[in-house]
Amino acid sequence: MYQLLKQEGRARRGEFTTVHGTVQTPAFMNVATSAAIKGGISSLDLRELRCQVELCNTYHLHIRPGDRVIRELGGLHRFTGWNRPILTDSGGFQVFSLSSLRKIREEGGTFSSHVDGKRIFMGPEESMRIQSNLASTIAMAFDECIENPAPRPYVEQSVARTTRWLRRCKAELDRLNRLPDTINPHQLLFGINQGGTYDDIRVEHMKEIARLGLDGYAIGGLAVGEPAEVMYHIIEEVEPHMPADRPRYLMGVGTPVNILEGVARGLDLFDCVMPSRNARHGHLFTWNGILNLQNNKYLLDERPIEEGCGCFACRGGHSRAYIRHLFRAKEMLGMRLAVAHNLYFYNTLMERVREALDQGRFDAFYREMVPVLGRRI
């Protein structure tokens, strides 16, 4: 499971052992929503880009090709050719994001497919069965992601229901892991802390779910419109009540600066579509800040995206001018090279964070990089 190797302030350096390998933390999980990174990045590429954990989405894979199809094909690892850990999101966020088409009740949530409009019901047991069919390394509990801001009475009701759902998730996954034909009987379960922006609700919910002895804990329902300062404050309030001997996951976050702020506040795992999504629009992360490769100033720029970068876009001799041309010509290769660079940057950012923690200089690294990584160049 999780072993804390070193700590500097609240920042933690650890190892998280799973049936599919050991994850060095802090770590960024690369988002492959439909079992693929948008931008033409393969599992072989991900290994070269220094990815440790891939994140796939339960809802999208349930819609297509279908979780039963993936089960017939041996689970997500065989299906994708990825032999390292995979985390599957529960589908709860889709209930939130498809809010205009949803209906939430005690049993679960009913909402319409974004593909064909078909009505779909998903509750705790359904989510666990789908994730068991997918055979991911880590299953996320089914929860309701609350809109920020939301009225306190609704948040209280929603969090209480999410807790009841979590108990049902645990019971169902325990049952599924005991079945003789389960592909991954060692599937882990992470619970999710909710509570909007109400400190006391967040803290009480974290205390309650910590008593369930789950394999890991996440903070959810942030980075959905609230100011970054509010997010950081919520983390500071909740983190002291998260079990120290379990991995801690900040869901859907975020920018390189957000991640450094999360590490500094004691969190271990992060995910976000930002590196791939921004790359597909020509916005690239570097150690000097963020550049927009579609700007005219790169028309004749023969330099790689970043000097000394080890990604295959930079070391392969592809210039900024060339990749800019690919974007302007709408060639798929442009997106592929840009996505590869951004994922490599995020994954090596985490390597540098771990190295700084190993050497007892994370605070200096944090202070040096936070003013730089978010600036436009």
List C-alpha distances in Å: 185 to 62, 125, 137, 355.
Answer: 20, 16, 10, 34
pLDDT score of 101:
55
User: Could you tell me the pLDDT band of residue 115, with boundaries at 50, 70 and 90?
Assistant: confident
The predicted model gives 165-174 an average pLDDT of: 98
pTM of the model: 0.97
Q: What is the mean pLDDT of the chain?
A: 95
**Nearest 10 degrees: Cα torsion 306, 308, 311, 314:** 50
Residue 87 DSSP code: E
pLDDT score of 139:
98
Question: Does residue 96 surpass a pLDDT of 70?
Answer: no
Contact (CB, 8 A) for 102 and 88: no
Q: What percent of the chain has pLDDT over 90?
A: 89
Question: Does residue 259 surpass a pLDDT of 70?
Answer: yes
The predicted model gives 225-230 an average pLDDT of: 93
Domain range summary for the chain, segments of one domain joined by + = 2-272, 283-373
Question: Residue 116 and residue 93: Cα distance in Å, rounded?
Answer: 19
- Decide: residue 123, CB within 10 A, 0-12 exposed, 13-18 middle, 19+ buried: buried
CA end-to-end distance (rounded Å), the chain: 41
User: Could you tell me the pLDDT band of residue 113, with boundaries at 50, 70 and 90?
Assistant: confident
Q: Lowest mean pLDDT: which of 97-101, 114-118, 265-269?
A: 97-101
Question: Does residue 27 surpass a pLDDT of 70?
Answer: yes
pLDDT score of 164:
98
pLDDT score of 118:
84
The secondary structure element, H or E, covering residue 123 is none
299 SS3 class: coil
Retrieve residue 204's tokens. Answer: 């009480």
User: Could you tell me the pLDDT band of residue 98, with boundaries at 50, 70 and 90?
Assistant: low
Question: Does residue 193 surpass a pLDDT of 70?
Answer: yes
Question: Does residue 100 surpass a pLDDT of 80?
Answer: no
Question: Does residue 117 surpass a pLDDT of 90?
Answer: no
The predicted model gives 174-192 an average pLDDT of: 98
The predicted model gives 144-154 an average pLDDT of: 90
Question: 300-355 pLDDT, tens per residue?
Answer: 999 999 999 999 999 999 999 999 999 999 999 999 999 999 999 999 999 999 99
Query: Rounded to the nearest 10 degrees, what angle do helices 332-358 and 320-328 cross at?
Result: 130
Contact (CB, 8 A) for 161 and 206: no
pLDDT score of 112:
77
Strands (E), the chain: 2-8, 11-18, 21-25, 27-31, 53-57, 86-89, 103-105, 108-112, 119-122, 138-140, 188-193, 216-219, 248-250, 269-272, 283-286, 289-292
pLDDT score of 102:
66
Looking at CATH, the fold of the domain delimited by 2-272 is given as TIM Barrel (3.20.20)
pLDDT score of 209:
98
Question: 245-256 pLDDT, tens per residue?
Answer: 999 999 999 999
281 SS3 class: coil
* Region of residue 333 (left: phi > 0; alpha: psi -120 to 50; beta: else): alpha
Closest to 249 measured CA to CA, from 120, 123, 109, 87:
87
Question: Does residue 64 surpass a pLDDT of 80?
Answer: yes
pLDDT score of 214:
98
Residue 146 DSSP code: -
The predicted model gives 279-293 an average pLDDT of: 98
For strand 27-31 and strand 269-272, is the pairing parallel, antiparallel, or unpaired? Answer: parallel
The residues carrying an active-site annotation are 89, 271
pLDDT score of 109:
82
Q: Lowest mean pLDDT: which of 95-99, 135-139, 170-174?
A: 95-99
The predicted model gives 86-104 an average pLDDT of: 75
Contact (CB, 8 A) for 113 and 104: no
Residues near 35 by beta carbon (within 8 Å), at least 6 away in sequence: 56, 61, 76, 79, 80
